[in-house]
Structure 1
Amino acid sequence: MTSPSTERIPLSDALRRTAVVAVLRADSPRHVGSVARTLAEAGVVCLELTLTTPGALDALESLRKDLGDAVDVGMGSVRSAEEARRSLDAGAGFLVSPGFQADVVALALAAGVPVCPGGLTPTELASAWDAGASAVKLFPASTVGPAHLAAFRGPYPEVAVMPTGGIAIDDIPAWIRAGAQAVGLGGPLIRDALSGGDLTDLAGRARRALEAVAGARS
């Protein structure tokens, strides 16, 4: 369980409102800025860069300067305390991990920054939540499906879960109805935009994702 003296850091208002995190993972940071602006203009304002992208920390600092409060930008693929420190120093507004590392969660809590560690099994998800996670990242979500989340939430209704990994835009309603707090969208949303693909098409997919959330919530 979380310590009585530890207050869980809530997810941002923007994430709770839109329920979509765009995961920006690329071989180069060259198009990150234009992709981020396109997503923000379309209404997807929660962006997760990843440490697997070369120059991700510099790109994060640039986005913070260029877009300011227009986006909630964080760092993903954070796998160690050192990576967490570097991400926080670069201005990450939240941290996301593929698995659960207690020291990463502790650092985020100390910094007052939301943190979403990953897990797949009920034990992994519950352990991450009890450590103080803002939400737990169900990963890789496409390997289990919405029924896995719905079954988990039976005994754990209080746990905020963000499925991520292989989720298509058409899958969003099923995940929201199964109890997802938000969804992380990578390839199915971004497609080739980070390698110079059509940004108009990206904007259209972003709007479809938000409409899918709104439809599932109504």
Structure 2
Amino acid sequence: MTDFATLLRGKPLMAILRNVPIERAVALAETVWDSGLGAVEVPIQTPEAARCLRAVASAAAARGAVVGAGTVVTVEQVRLAADAGAVFTVAPGLDLDVVAASAAAGLPHLPGVATPSEVHHARKAGCDWLKAFPAGSLGAGWLREMRGPFPDVRFVATGGIGAHNARDFLAAGADALGVGGAVTREGGLAELLAVLRA
């Protein structure tokens, strides 16, 4: 099983392609992969989203890239993600059954956390990389403060991140940024990539 340290090495962006038409999702994913700065996540809350994941995974396989499945909140969705070609799973919260199912499927899992207790329990469950969510509400200072008791945890700050605050969260200790709306709006991906390259 590949881990997030390998998947996100040198890649500060996890582009979240939520509710994006399939052709546009593939095009955005290819731009992210071509930049060398990011990974791609496709949330799978609807049947159309699952079809989108399959299409993006097919494009990823053709170029040696990878895609993960997001908003994975049930064991059934873990199976769906694996069948569609995802190589990792992401969730908004911490569900130990989903963590275990992802591990059994050979997919590293990125659970969402927002409290020290959730960080602690996610670590006990074997997750070294965690999704700080909702990062925009938690604030960059939350990441700095979590570094004290949890110096080895790697965080993907997600929720409310864009070109306007990406640098703040990276400076506070985020290892990567999960970005949805700011990536999928017209011109948003180019703007964010410019900030990350600076």
TM-score normalised to the size of structure 2? Answer: 0.89
Q: CA deviation at 1:17?
A: 1.1
From 56, 68, 85, the counterpart of 1:63: 56
Q: CA deviation at 1:42?
A: 2.9
Equivalent in the alignment of 2:171: 177
Equivalent in the alignment of 1:208: 194
1:58-78 residue CA offsets vs partner (Å, 9 max, x unmatched): 222222222324432000001
Q: CA deviation at 1:53?
A: 5.1
Equivalent in the alignment of 2:85: 91
**Is contact 2:162–2:192 with CA below 8 Å preserved after alignment?**
no
1:162-188 residue CA offsets vs partner (Å, 9 max, x unmatched): 110011223122212211121101112
> Partner letter of residue 33 of structure 2?
A
| Counterparts of 1:42 and 1:203, CA distance in 2 | 11
Q: CA deviation at 1:54?
A: 4.5
Aligned residues: 197
From 160, 163, 177, the counterpart of 1:166: 160
From 9, 24, 40, the counterpart of 2:17: 24
| Counterparts of 2:38 and 2:170, CA distance in 1 | 18
**Is contact 1:45–1:70 with CA below 8 Å preserved after alignment?**
no
For the structure 1 residues 75 and 129, does the alpha-carbon distance in structure 2 shift closer, same or farther, using more than 3 Å as the test?
A: same
**Is contact 2:182–2:189 with CA below 8 Å preserved after alignment?**
no
Worse overlay, 103-112 or 37-46 = 37-46
1:24-50 residue CA offsets vs partner (Å, 9 max, x unmatched): 011643521222222222334410000
For the structure 1 residues 107 and 173, does the alpha-carbon distance in structure 2 shift closer, same or farther, using more than 3 Å as the test?
A: same
For the structure 1 residues 144 and 203, does the alpha-carbon distance in structure 2 shift closer, same or farther, using more than 3 Å as the test?
A: closer
- Give percent identity, aligned residues only: 35
| Counterparts of 1:127 and 1:43, CA distance in 2 | 33
Q: Does 1:39 align with 2:32?
A: yes
Q: Any gaps of 5 or more consecutive residues in structure 1?
A: 1-7, 193-200, 213-218
| Counterparts of 1:27 and 1:14, CA distance in 2 | 23
| Counterparts of 1:127 and 1:85, CA distance in 2 | 23
> Partner letter of residue 72 of structure 2?
V
From 101, 122, 131, the counterpart of 1:128: 122
Q: Give SS of 1:16's match.
A: coil
Q: CA deviation at 1:209?
A: 4.2
Structure with the larger RCO, 1 or 2 (CA within 8 Å, 6+ apart): 1
For the structure 1 residues 98 and 62, does the alpha-carbon distance in structure 2 shift closer, same or farther, using more than 3 Å as the test?
A: same
TM-score normalised to the size of structure 1? Answer: 0.81
> Partner letter of residue 149 of structure 1?
L
1:116-163 residue CA offsets vs partner (Å, 9 max, x unmatched): 001101111221122112411111110021101111111110111111
> Partner letter of residue 82 of structure 2?
L
For the structure 1 residues 206 and 35, does the alpha-carbon distance in structure 2 shift closer, same or farther, using more than 3 Å as the test?
A: same
| Counterparts of 1:70 and 1:171, CA distance in 2 | 31
For the structure 1 residues 82 and 133, does the alpha-carbon distance in structure 2 shift closer, same or farther, using more than 3 Å as the test?
A: same
Q: Any gaps of 5 or more consecutive residues in structure 2?
A: none
> Alignment RMSD, CA only?
2.1
